[in-house]
Amino acid sequence: MIRVTVWGENVHEQTNQTVKALYPNGMHTVIAEGLAEDPELETRTATLQEPEHGLTQEVLDNTDVLTWWGHCAHGKVEDAIVDRVQKRVLEGMGLLVLHSGHYSKIFKRLMGTTCSLTWREAGEKERLWVCNPGHPIVQGLGPYFELPNTEMYGEPFGVPTADETIFISWFEGGEVFRSGLVYRRGNGKIFYFRPGHETYPIYFNKDVKLVLKNAVKWARPEGSIWKDSAPNIPVEKAPEKIQIKGGKLHEEGEAGFK
Ligand code: ZN
């Protein structure tokens, strides 16, 4: 089983009538239900409003892949929780960053750039082109799929060049956007996936659900986790016998920064 934690900001579902009507139990619930259609995936949800935003160390230690949806309350996410999520990603936890999660603290932290983009809310059509039909994330899709009503996101997208571009979107209004990007940070795999504006039923769409299921499987940890402790290697433990030459700053066996 792959253990997935679906994180949702869960704000517009409470405050906007359109969003509330589409997602009465929250977008996180619908995303989790979509993933749970696959018997290999075991899902749980967590929201901003829970203590520690539902992302305790225990929850994260028992999460193989975390999905992140946020929009208007990125600034309300505690920095200590962002640190904790980042550490788990570097150890090997997979992370799916969805739609307006491009501006989340965790995504900006992991990218190191502005993550800005252009946008328009006009309910226009989006066509997502598959860039590599052989990639695990696009299995089961044709050359492209379409969403009838979406918010437009356009270039320039202020992110580092991805390890691979999985989707490029074309919008009815004419813009294009790198809609599916994969990265590796430390031992963790990251997938940014653009669709997901909360006033349209994006997370009920069968192709979107398929991409998310595929992406969780792609992002699952491989091998053991990487616990990075930067240990000092004493002279006598060097693989080859060596003599100390020159001056030294640190005592033998000293911990801390070098
Ligand atoms: Zn949006």
Residue 206 lies in a domain: yes
Cα 258 to ligand 1 centre (Å): 44
CA separation for the pair 104, 71 (Å, rounded): 8
Opening angle at CA 53, ends 51 and 57, nearest 5: 85
Cα 249 to ligand 1 centre (Å): 53
Cα 198 to ligand 1 centre (Å): 6
For the chain, the average pLDDT equals 96
Residue 173 lies in a domain: yes
Least confident residue range of 55-64, 157-166, 207-216, 244-253: 244-253
CA separation for the pair 92, 55 (Å, rounded): 16
Does the pLDDT at position 142 exceed 70?
yes
Residue 248 lies in a domain: no
Three-state SS at 169: strand
Q: Helices 206-219 and 27-36 sit at what angle, rounded to 10 degrees?
A: 70
pLDDT band at 232; cut points 50, 70, 90? confident
Least confident residue range of 29-38, 121-130, 190-199, 231-240: 231-240
* Confidence (pLDDT) at 248: 82
* Whole-number Cα distances in Å, 203 to 22, 83, 95, 207, 208: 10, 28, 17, 9, 6
Cα 144 to ligand 1 centre (Å): 21
CA-CA-CA-CA torsion sign (153, 34, 163, 115): positive
For 209-227, what is the mean pLDDT? 95
Residue tagged 């100390």 (tokens): 244
Q: Give pLDDT tens digits for 74-131.
A: 999 999 999 999 999 999 999 999 999 999 999 999 999 999 999 999 999 999 999 9
* CATH number for position 12: 3.40.50.880
pLDDT band at 255; cut points 50, 70, 90? low
For 170-187, what is the mean pLDDT? 98
Q: Which tokens hold the place of 54?
A: 């539902």
Cα 196 to ligand 1 centre (Å): 7
CA separation for the pair 186, 150 (Å, rounded): 33
Q: What residues contact 175, with CB distance under 8 A and at least 6 apart?
A: 118, 120, 152, 153, 154, 155
Does the pLDDT at position 250 exceed 60?
yes
Residue 63 lies in a domain: yes
Cα 245 to ligand 1 centre (Å): 60
* Confidence (pLDDT) at 84: 98
Cα 20 to ligand 1 centre (Å): 15
**How many domains in the chain?**
1
Residue 197 lies in a domain: yes
Cα 51 to ligand 1 centre (Å): 26
Cα 214 to ligand 1 centre (Å): 22
Cα 200 to ligand 1 centre (Å): 9
Cα 150 to ligand 1 centre (Å): 8
pLDDT band at 253; cut points 50, 70, 90? low
Q: Give pLDDT tens digits for 44-75.
A: 999 999 999 999 999 999 999 999 999 999 99
For 234-250, what is the mean pLDDT? 90
Residue 250 lies in a domain: no
In which domain, by residue range, is 40 found? Answer: 2-219
Cα 59 to ligand 1 centre (Å): 27
Cα 95 to ligand 1 centre (Å): 19
Residue 20 lies in a domain: yes
Residue 46 lies in a domain: yes
Q: Give pLDDT tens digits for 12-34.
A: 999 999 999 999 999 999 999 99
pLDDT band at 229; cut points 50, 70, 90? confident
Cα 224 to ligand 1 centre (Å): 36
Cα 119 to ligand 1 centre (Å): 9
Cα 188 to ligand 1 centre (Å): 26
CA separation for the pair 157, 177 (Å, rounded): 8
**Selected residue with higher pLDDT from 111 and 254:** 111
Per the CB < 8 A criterion, the answer to whether 94 and 216 are in contact is yes
Three-state SS at 211: helix
Cα 22 to ligand 1 centre (Å): 14
Cα 199 to ligand 1 centre (Å): 8
* Confidence (pLDDT) at 230: 83
